[in-house]
């Protein structure tokens, strides 16, 4: 099984360098090959059916603020690597 | 001291035969003596003294609970307000949790003594604790061997007498496999029995927090303290569902053994012999042992290594250096992402890439969808052997060895992840299907440099942790 690791790393936003690249391609290939044995199982479940979803239930609720949490906004802002006037600061996108 | 159960220690504390300080100091001495060699703790908390005082006050005022004053170690992926939770990763090495996970807030009501946070594989990805970004934890029975993983720190802490109990997390065997390697008891509760709120997620549809200890009664006591419905985790079961299951039927004495899985699981001869004698012991105690078939479960590990990386690739997307953790500057946003994510370890990067692959449009059906189908079918396998709702009675418990081999040597499997994954072959099916499972010590097996512990795994129907505790106690008495 041939895997284009360079392309995959780009897709994953992961840069592979140095010792990380040693054996990586072989390891990923062998794991995917091993996992692909699931394809031997016959039968499939319709992805739109209740059976596919199983026991998962709908948990939507009204879009109103509930203060279930014990933390303050400032606790979260303080853990930002960089902030400006209470906003998360990131590099410009455009 | 290490032979006492929590209940017995609690009794001594209540009778004032010992003080909380004496109890905690005793354990801190063990840590001082052994931790440099075993590499368990990433941090010993600085507020122990204050907590000891509070716990002692609670006892003196006559308000003590079972866990008041009992030392406990916490895996580094379980959030505690004001404390660092790094998941043994460089990318969130200094991340201070702004809130308590639900398990911690539940425990805090009891005033146990949180001793510190313990080592693990980075983001719980691994089976040996060698993937920690900070240190390698050693097996207390043979320091050249691994303690198992990813909760290797939690298992070593209790097995070496550093703390009587600890918390770990289990996504594919990460509590049970180290418990087996280190000779202690480890419980993976039913998926949805314990809240995952405040657990740093790895595979959200598989993760569960669970207790480790040196005896079944301690693990049982901690489990009943941390379980429960939580509005902050929508996958937790309600109280009525729990009661309904537990009161539905009294557990019988039929044990099913899926021999077809065990024989194909690459099991070592010594572990197989150990398992056979464990079954014999159960038969001697009045259990009936029979062969069962779980046809789709043969592919559980294949499916696990699709579902887990798929969930990892999305759960790890939040560690991009933007909102928390370390940000490594770059010339633009994309370069900043990639620079920051370079702080992740090799195994984490590899799983993110595999997850990206199996979720990509071209391979989604062949991998992810098929794995999901196997998962549904495996769940049906389990339902069938445990008996159906029409009253047809099945077996009460499934038994397997916890692992196909005893602990392996440090460095032996670190460069061959697929071989490392095989350590989870008997444990993943409980995560794939969601049933509760426990690993209990089943004696020692002979390895090169002496005896190493082996474990017996028991799996019960959904929400029947009570059955696991009952059979485990029968086995160990």
Q: What are B210-258's pLDDT values in tens digits?
A: 999 999 999 999 999 999 999 899 999 998 888 887 777 777 899 999 9
- Enter the tokens of residue B136: 């390698």
Report B:162-221 residues touching A (Cβ under 8 A). none
Q: Which of these, B126, B122, B103, lies nearest to B177 by C-alpha position?
A: B126
**DSSP-H helix ranges across B183-263:** 216-226, 239-248, 259-263
Contact yes or no for B350 and A32 at CB 8 A = no
Q: Which of B299, B355, B376 sits opposite A37 (nearest CB)?
A: B299
The domain total for chain A is 1
Helix axes A24-35, B346-359, angle to 10 degrees: 50
**pLDDT of res. A65:** 76
Contact yes or no for A13 and B337 at CB 8 A = yes
Domains of chain B (ranges plus CATH)?
1-325+351-477 (3.90.1300.10)
B313 a catalytic residue? no
Task: Give the A:B interface size as CB pairs under 8 Å.
Answer: 147
- Rounded (5°) CA angle B376-B378-B379: 65
Q: How far apart are CA B250 and CA B396, in angstroms?
A: 9
- The confidence band for A47, taking pLDDT boundaries of 50, 70 and 90, is low
Which is the catalytic residue, given B85, B86, B101, B174? B174
Instruction: Note whether residue A91 is domain-resident.
Output: no
Instruction: Note whether residue A43 is domain-resident.
Output: no
Contact yes or no for A79 and B354 at CB 8 A = no
B75 a catalytic residue? yes
Residue B2 CB neighbour total at 10 angstroms? 13
Measured torsion, CA atoms of residues B256, B430, B269, B180, in degrees rounded to the nearest 10: -120
Sites in chain B below the pLDDT cut of 50: none
**pLDDT of res. A76:** 87
Q: What is the CA radius of gyration of chain A?
A: 22
Q: Which residues of A touch B83 (CB under 8 A)?
A: none
Instruction: Note whether residue A55 is domain-resident.
Output: no
Instruction: Note whether residue A85 is domain-resident.
Output: no
Instruction: Note whether residue A25 is domain-resident.
Output: yes
Helix axes B6-14, B216-226, angle to 10 degrees: 80
Instruction: Note whether residue A30 is domain-resident.
Output: yes
Domain containing A29 equals: 5-37
Cβ(B265)–Cβ(B425) below 8 Å: yes
Closest Cα in chain B to A16: B342
Cβ(B161)–Cβ(B9) below 8 Å: no
Instruction: Note whether residue A45 is domain-resident.
Output: no
**For residue range A25-46, what is the model confidence (pLDDT) as tens digits?**
899 999 999 999 999 888 777 7
**pLDDT of res. A56:** 67
Q: How far apart are CA B282 and CA B141, in angstroms?
A: 26
- The confidence band for A4, taking pLDDT boundaries of 50, 70 and 90, is confident
**pLDDT of res. A62:** 82
Cβ(B446)–Cβ(B270) below 8 Å: yes
**pLDDT of res. B411:** 96
In the block, tokens 């991009």 appear at B320
Q: How far apart are CA A7 and CA B67, in angstroms?
A: 52
What phi-psi label fits residue B62: left (phi over 0), alpha (psi between -120 and 50 degrees) or beta?
Answer: left
Give B366's DSSP letter: I
Cβ(B85)–Cβ(B319) below 8 Å: no
Which is the catalytic residue, given B86, B101, B128, B150? B150
Instruction: Note whether residue A92 is domain-resident.
Output: no
Q: Which residues of B touch A30 (CB under 8 A)?
A: 418
């Amino acid at each position: 099984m041939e895997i284009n690791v360079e392309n995959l790393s780009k897709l994953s936003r992961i840069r592979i360098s140095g010792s990380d690249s040693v054996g990586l391609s072989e390891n990923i290939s062998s794991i995917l090959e091993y996992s692909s044995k699931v394809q031997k199982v016959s039968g499939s479940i319709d992805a739109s059916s209740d059976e596919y979803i199983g026991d998962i239930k709908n948990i939507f609720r009204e879009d109103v603020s509930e203060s279930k949490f014990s933390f303050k906004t400032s606790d979260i802002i303080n853990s930002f690597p960089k902030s400006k006037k209470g906003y998360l600061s990131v590099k410009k996108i455009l | 001291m290490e032979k006492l159960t929590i209940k017995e220690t609690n009794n001594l504390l209540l009778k004032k035969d010992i003080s909380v300080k004496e109890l905690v100091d005793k354990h801190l001495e063990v840590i001082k003596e052994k931790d440099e060699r075993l590499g368990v703790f990433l941090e010993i908390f600085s507020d122990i003294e204050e907590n000891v005082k509070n716990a002692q006050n609670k006892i003196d005022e006559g308000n003590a609970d079972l866990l008041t004053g009992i030392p406990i170690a916490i895996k580094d992926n379980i959030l505690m307000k004001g404390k660092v939770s790094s998941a043994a990763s460089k990318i969130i090495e200094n991340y201070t949790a702004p809130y308590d996970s639900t398990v911690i807030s539940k425990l805090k009501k009891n005033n146990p003594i949180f001793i510190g946070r313990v080592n693990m594989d980075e983001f719980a990805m691994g089976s040996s604790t060698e993937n920690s970004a900070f240190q390698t934890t050693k097996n207390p029975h043979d320091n050249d061997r691994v303690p198992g993983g990813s909760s290797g720190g939690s298992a070593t802490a209790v097995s070496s007498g550093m703390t009587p109990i600890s918390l770990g997390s289990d996504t594919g065997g990460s509590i049970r496999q180290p418990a087996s390697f280190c000779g202690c008891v480890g419980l993976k509760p039913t998926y949805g029995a314990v809240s995952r709120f405040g657990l740093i997620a790895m595979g959200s549809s598989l993760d569960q927090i669970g207790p480790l200890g040196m005896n079944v009664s301690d693990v049982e006591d901690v489990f009943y303290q941390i379980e429960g419905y939580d509005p902050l985790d929508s996958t937790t079961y309600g109280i009525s569902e729990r009661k309904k299951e537990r009161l539905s039927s009294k557990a019988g004495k039929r044990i099913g053994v899926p021999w077809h899985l065990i024989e194909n699981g690459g099991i070592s001869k010594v572990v197989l012999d150990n398992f056979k004698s464990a079954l014999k012991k159960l038969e001697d105690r009045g259990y009936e042992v029979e062969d069962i078939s779980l046809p789709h479960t043969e592919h559980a590990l294949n499916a696990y290594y699709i579902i887990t990386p798929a969930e990892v690739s999305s759960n790890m997307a939040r560690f991009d250096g933007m909102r928390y953790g370390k940000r490594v500057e770059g010339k633009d946003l994309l370069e900043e992402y990639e620079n920051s994510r370079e702080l992740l370890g090799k195994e984490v990067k590899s799983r993110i890439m595999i997850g990206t692959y199996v979720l990509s449009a071209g391979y989604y059906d062949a991998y992810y969808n098929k794995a999901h189908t196997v998962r549904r079918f495996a769940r049906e396998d389990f339902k069938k052997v445990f008996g159906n709702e029409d009253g047809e009675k099945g077996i009460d418990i499934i038994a397997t060895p916890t692992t196909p081999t005893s602990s392996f040597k440090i460095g032996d499997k670190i460069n061959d992840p697929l071989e490392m994954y095989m350590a989870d072959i008997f444990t993943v099916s409980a995560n794939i299907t969601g049933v509760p499972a426990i690993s209990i010590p089943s004696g020692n097996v002979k390895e090169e440099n002496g005896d190493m512990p082996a474990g017996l795994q028991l799996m019960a129907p959904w929400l029947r942790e009570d059955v696991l505790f009952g059979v485990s106690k029968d086995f160990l008495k």
